[in-house]
Structure 1
C-alpha cells in the first residue's frame, strides 16, 4: 500500500474563526479560555476532516495562534529578556513577541511597553514568520508543557494518531538572528546547546505514543555555507535514538540537490521533497535512500489553487514506486497547505467553469488520497475521468487567451522601460516643482479601515446603498484623511484608500484575466488574512482604476497627493498565478496595464505616484544562478514598463517591506523615492548597505503591525542612528507600511510624533 500524507492544514478556519477570536482577545472582548477553546475546536475539525477523507499520515502541531516559528521560540525559551520582566501569561508573551505590547499601568498590573520581534517572509511565500532572536545569554529549555505533546494527545483522545511537525534545529537556528546586544553571535554555533532540548521534546513525544515526527529543514533549498551543511550530520546523529520517534526529514519550496551530501548519510527514517517545484531532482534525491528509508513524494501543490493533473502526477508516482518500492513511497502535499484557502465548497459565486479548475486545501486532501489509492491499485477511474475533464476544460478555454494582450506584449523593448532622463536630471526638475522641505514626511498609503468603512462597503456590495451614496461616503472619508494630514503637517499626502478592500484584490477586480473568491482567505501573518485574486488568463485594463479618487483628493489640498498603485510583481506574487505561462509573461502584462493607469493619473494632474513592490524580494528564486538573474531582470523591467511613460517632473515612489532586501534590486527599478520597512531592524550594517543608494529613501520609522505608539524622542534617536551613515539631504520620514490595520487614536499620535521629530531635525540641520 502506498500511503498518503498532508504536511499541514490551514489553521484559520473556514469562516476565519481564528482571526475573530484572536482579535476579540486582543481587544478584551474574549477571554483566554474562549481563545484556547476555539483553537482546540479548529484543531479537532482539521484532524477529523483529514481522517474522514482517508489520509494515512496526518500532521499535528501545525496549528498556531500567531506563527509556528514563534511558537518554537516560546517553547524553547528563546525569549529576549525584554519580554520576561512583565510577568505575562505565556499566550501574552507570544503575542507581545509577535506584535508588540503597550499597556498602561492599572491597580493590579504594571505598565508594559515592548516592541515586536522582526517579521520576515517565509522563503518565497507570502507567509511571514517571526524571526528567532538569540543572544549570548539565551538559555534553552522547555517552557512548561510542550505544545507539540499537548496537541498530539488531543488528537489521540479523538482516536486520531498524528505525526507531529517540528521545525528542525539547523533551520531554526539559521533562520534566526543575533539580538542587538549580541551582534557578534552566529546563531548556528548554538546547535550543541539546543540539541538537548530537541532530544527532550522528542523523548516526551515518544512517551506520549508518537512513533513518527515530521522534522522540517526547509533551508536545504537555500545556498548554504559549508559550516551550516556540516551541522546536519551533527544534529541528526544526536537526535536519532531509541528514546525518540522515527524522524522524516522534510524540505520544500525548491531544489535540495546542491545540499544533498549534507543529508545523504543521516540516520532518519525517511525524506520528503517537493516535486511540484523541482520534479527533475527525483533521480538524485531518491538515490540517497538506504535500507527501509521512505520517500515522501510532494506531488500535490501546497502553494497554488489549481487542480492536480492526475495523469501527470500518477506517472510520476509510478516511477517512484518502480524505483523505491510501493511500501516505501508516500504520496504527499508538496508543503503545508497553510498557503491555500480552506475549502472550495465555500465559494458559491464563482463561475462554474472556472471553479472546476480549482482545488483548495480540503480538495487537495482528497487529491492526495486518490493518488495514493491509484498507486496502490484501487479503482479510482471515476475520479480520474472527472479530473481529466477539468484539466481539458482549462486547456481549451478561450478565457485564458487574449490575442490583443499578446500582441502588445511583443512590443515591449528597453526604451519602453526607461525614464526620459537619469535620476539627477529628474531630481532637479522635481525639486523646483514640489519645493519640499528637508526631511519630507509622508505615509505609505492606507489609513485605518474603520468598521464604518467596512459596513458601507458591504452595503454597497450587497446593493443596499446606491453608487452615489457610496461615493459620497468615500469622499467624506477621503476628506477626513486629507484634513488630518494637513493638520499635523505632513508634506506629501495620500487619500487613505477607503474604497479599497486589499492592495491586490482591489486592482484584480478591475482588471481582465482575474477570478475572485468570497471566502478564499489565506493567512499572511498573525491575524492578517488576505483573499488572493486568481489569475486565470491574459491580463489587461479595461478602464482607469484610481483616477477619480485621486483627483478628488488632490482637489482638497495644495500639497501633493500621491496616486497609489500596487506594482506588477506584487500583484503577481500576491495573487494565485497561472501555472501554464511564465511569471515573466504575467508580470509584463501587468506592467502594461499599470502603465496605462500611471499615464492616466499624470494626465489628470496626479504627478506624485507610488507603485508599491513589497513582494519583489519575495519572488527572488531561492538559489543564486541564471534563474535568479533572469528574474531580477524581468521583475525590474515590469516595474519600469509601468512607470517610465511619464515626464521627468512626475515623481515615482515605491515601497518595500518584510524581506531581506538587496539595494541593487531596488536600484534597478529607478524609482525617484523608495520607502523601506525598517523599524525592527537591529543591525547597523543594514543601514550601511543603503548608504550609497543614489535616489531618495525613507527607512520606515515605526512598526505599523504593532499597537504601540513611539514617542517623538524614540523617532529622534532612531533617525540619529540612520543619519550617521545616510545623507540627510536624501532622507524621508515615513512609517514601515500602510496604516489600514491600526486604529485612529494610535495613528494620530504616532504620525504627530513622527512629524514633530522631522521638524526637530530640520531645525538642527
Structure 2
C-alpha cells in the first residue's frame, strides 16, 4: 500500500426496504420462479456494491451477500449436505440449500443458533462423516461478478477454516485438528484461483480468535495460514477478527498473513493496550475497526481521530486500513430514508451507509490532516451534544430511582418450595401440563388491519374490536385443542421488543431500520435513546379480556429487561447495565398491574440472556450477575401464588445453569428442539429443581411433527427431569407459522402429552 485505505468488513444484505426478504418469501411461496428470483437477488447485490463504490470505500467486500446465511453458504460451498437431504455431488442447488435451512416434509432443518454474542442466527454445519470437497468456488464467482459488471476490484470475504469447524457439529473434540486439515487444501484452492483471476486482497474471517482459545488452537492457526500463504503468495490475506480483543496478540499478529483486522470498539481497550505494549509487525497492515459495526450512534469523530493518531504512532499510515469493527449486517442500511424521525435524534445516528461515510471522512483526516475534516467533526459534536442535553436523557425521577437501588438481589416472598405447593393448590394442573410460548400466527389479515390502524384507516375502537375477535378465536381453539394453560396470542404486537418499546418512555422507532435475524426474518430494533420509564399499563387490557373468556389460566406475556436491552440499539452515554435496570423498574410496574388485575401467571421472556454473554469467559460473571439482578428486579414483588414463567433460547445451557437457577422463576421453557439431545445431556450433568418445559418441536420449520417424534422427546427428557416439574410446549412462539400447521402441530403435541401422562400414571399404578 502507498497510503492509508478505507475498507468495509461486510454490508447489510436485505436492501434499504427489505427487498431481499420480499423476494425470498415470494420465491418460497411459489410467486416467483427461480430465474426471476435470482435476477432480483443480483440486482440487490450489485446495487449494494455500487453504493459502496459511490461512497468512496477503497476495499469493497464481495461474497458477503447471501441467500440465507453466510455459514450455510460456506458449508454448501464444500458440499456439506446432511445425509437426510438428497445430494449427488457438485454445486448444491438452491432447493437443497433452502431445505437444509428450513426443513421439508421428509427431513428436519439443520440446527440454528446465535452468531457469537449477536442477535443474528446462523445454520450450524453438520460434519458427521462427511468429506468436504470444493463444490463451488463461491468467492471467485462474486469477485468476477463485481469486476465484470461494476469494475470493482473487490475484496472477497471467506469464513475462515478454524472458525468454520469450531462453529460446526458432528465430530469429537479429539478430531478437531484433523478435520480442519481436511479443509485446508480446499481453502488453498480457492485462494489459488482468486490469485489467478487477479484478486489482490482477501478477507478471511476468524472471529473465533476473539474467544477463549488454547495454545494448541494458536499452533494450528500457524500451520494452517502458513499453508494458505504458500498456496497463494501474491494475495494479501486480511485475517479478520471482531466482537472482542484477541488474547494471543503476539502470536496472532505473527501469523503468516499480510494484514490483521482488529476490533478497537468492543475490545474494552485491550487491543489498543496490546498494540502499545507489543508493537505491530513491520511487514503487516493493520485493519483497524474503529467505527462501531453493531450500534447505530454516530461516532464522535474527534475521539476516533485521536484513537487513530494513537495507532499511527505505532503503525505507519501506509500500513493502515480504516474500517468498521465488524460486518455492518448488524445495523440498518441508511438513515437517509428515515423521514419521520425527530431532527435531534436523526442527526446523531449512523446506519451502514453513514458509518461508511464516517470511515471515508476519517481516512481523509489521516491522509490530509484533521483540519480537512473539521467541519464534519464540529457537525457531529453539535448533534451529539444536543441529544445529551435533551429532556429525554435527563429524567430526574428515573435517575433518582436508579441511584437508590439496593445492592442485594430482590427476593420473592418465599422460597420456591413454598411457592410450588401454593401454586399447585391454586392452579390444579394435570401432570405434564401443556402450554405455548406466547404468540399465535400473525396472518396477512392481522398485519393488514394493524397497518390500516397505523395509517388512520381503521379507528382505534374498530382495531381493538378486531384484536378481541382474534383473541377469542384462539381462546376457543386452545379450548378445542385441550391445552392446559392459555395465552392471548399477542395479535396486537408487531415484535416482542418493539411492542414494549412503543409504550415505554425513552424509546424511539424507525420506519426502515430493519436488520436480519435469521433467514428472511428481519427485526426492527428500537432505539433506546433516553431514560426508560413506565407510562401506563401495556398488556393488561388484552390479557384480562382473554382471561374473561376461559376458566383456564391465561399467562400475561412480557419481554424481559435483558432481552429488550440485547435486542435494541442502546444509548452509549451511560453504562449498559444502568439501562437494563431502568427497563426492569418499568416492567416491575407492569407485572404488578397484571397481578392486581387477576392474572396469576406472568411470563417474562428472556430468550436473549445466553446470546449476550461476553466472548471472554472471564467477563461472564459480571454480565450474568447483572442479568439476574435485572430479571429479579422486574419479577420478585408478586405474591407466592402468582407464578412467574420465563422463556429462553438454548445454546450451551450448562454454561449458565447456575444463573438460570438464580433467576428464581417458577417455570422456565427452553428452545431446544433442534438440539434436544444435547440439552438433555446437560441436565444429566446439572440438576434443575423448578418447573421446566423443553420445547418438544421446532417452530422454525413449516413441517408438522410426528407423534412418535414428540413422545420420544418427552420420554428422553423425563429420564433426567422430575415429571412433577415438567411442562410440554413448542420451543418458541408461533407468530411466524400458518394457522393450519399450528393447529396440526399443537394437536400432535397435546396427544403426545396425554400419551406420556397416561404412561406415567400407569407406571405409578394410578
Within the alignment, does 1:94 sit opposite 2:84 as a pair?
A: no
Find the residue that maps to 1:369 and give its secondary structure.
Answer: helix
Q: Is 1:229 aligned to residue 218 of structure 2?
A: yes
1:188-232 Cα shifts (integer Å, max 9, x gaps)? 431111101111111122222211100111011111133322211
State the Cα distance separating 1:291 from its structure 2 match. Answer: 3.2
> 1:4, 1:369 within 8 Å by CA — same for their partners in 2?
yes
**Deviation of 1:304 (Å):** 0.2
CA distance in 1: counterparts of 2:175 and 2:571, whole angstroms: 40
> How far 1:689 moved relative to its partner?
2.9
Aligned to 1:216: 205
Distance 1:552 1:414, change over 3 A: farther
Q: Is the 8 A contact 2:156 2:203 kept in 1?
A: yes
- 2:431 and 2:217 map into 1 onto residues whose CA distance is 45
* From 494, 514, 525, the counterpart of 1:521: 514
SS class of match (1:193): helix
How many residues align? The count is 748
Name the residue aligned to 1:321. Answer: 312
Q: Following the alignment from structure 2 to structure 1, what is the Cα–Cα distance between the partners of residues 12 and 688?
A: 40
The 8 Å contact of residues 79 and 92 in structure 2, kept in 1 or not, is answered as: no
Residue 563 (1) aligns with residue 565 (2): no
Following superposition, the deviation at residue 259 of structure 1 comes to 2.2
Deviations 1:127-163 (A, max 9, x none): 111112212x2111111x3221111111001101110
More off after superposition, 34-43 vs 10-19: 34-43
Equivalent positions of 1:111-510 (< 5 A) are 113-135=106-128, 137-143=129-135, 145-157=136-148, 158-178=150-170, 186-241=175-230, 243=232, 245-256=235-246, 258-278=247-267, 279-285=269-275, 287=278, 289-377=280-368, 379-413=372-406, 417-510=410-503
Contact 1:121 1:658 in 2 (8 A): no
The offset of 1:613, in angstroms, is 0.2
Corresponding residue for 2:703?
708
In the alignment, what sits opposite 2:31? 29
Pick from 655, 669, 672: which aligns with 1:675?
669
The answer on 1:68 being equivalent to 2:40 is no
1:605 maps to what in 2?
A: 598
Q: Which residue of 1 aligns with 2:570?
A: 577
SS in 2 for 1:191: helix
Retained in 2: the 8 A contact 1:295–1:328? yes
Q: Residue deviations 1:33-65, cap 9 Å, x none?
A: 122112211111111111111110110111011
Please give the root-mean-square deviation of Cα atoms over the aligned residues, in Å: 1.6
- SS at 2:731's partner residue? coil
Deviates most, 391-400 or 297-306? 391-400
Give the match's secondary structure for 1:448.
coil
CA contact (8 A) 2:331 2:351 kept: yes
Q: Are the counterparts in 1 of residues 76 and 92 from structure 2 also a CA contact under 8 Å? A: no
Unaligned stretches of 5+ in structure 2? 761-766
State the distance in 2 between where 1:658 and 1:37 align. 37
Contact 2:23 2:41 in 1 (8 A): no
Classify 1:611/1:13 alpha carbon distance in 2 versus 1 (closer, same or farther; 3 Å).
same
User: How far apart are the structure 2 equivalents of 1:185 and 1:482?
Assistant: 52
Give the Cα separation in 1 of the matches to 2:399 and 2:626.
Answer: 16
- For residue 4 of structure 2, what is the aligned residue in structure 1? 2
Change (3 A) 1:186 1:500: farther
Aligned residue number for residue 540 of structure 1: 533
SS at match of 2:727: coil
Aligned to 2:764: none
Which of 80, 83, 87 is 1:81 aligned to? 83
Residue 724 (structure 1) aligns with = 719
Return the alpha-carbon distance in structure 2 between the equivalents of residues 721 and 176 of structure 1. 24
Deviations 1:423-459 (A, max 9, x none): 0100000000001111110000000010000010001
Quick check: 2:562–2:606 contact (8 Å CA) kept in 1?
Answer: yes
Q: Give the Å deviation of 1:288.
A: 5.6
Aligned partners of 1:757, 1:401: CA distance in 2, in Å? 54
Task: Measure, in 1, the Cα distance between the counterparts of 2:251 and 2:423.
Answer: 54
1:645 and 2:645 are equivalent in the alignment: no
Partner secondary structure for residue 733 of structure 1 = strand
Contact 1:344 1:363 in 2 (8 A): yes
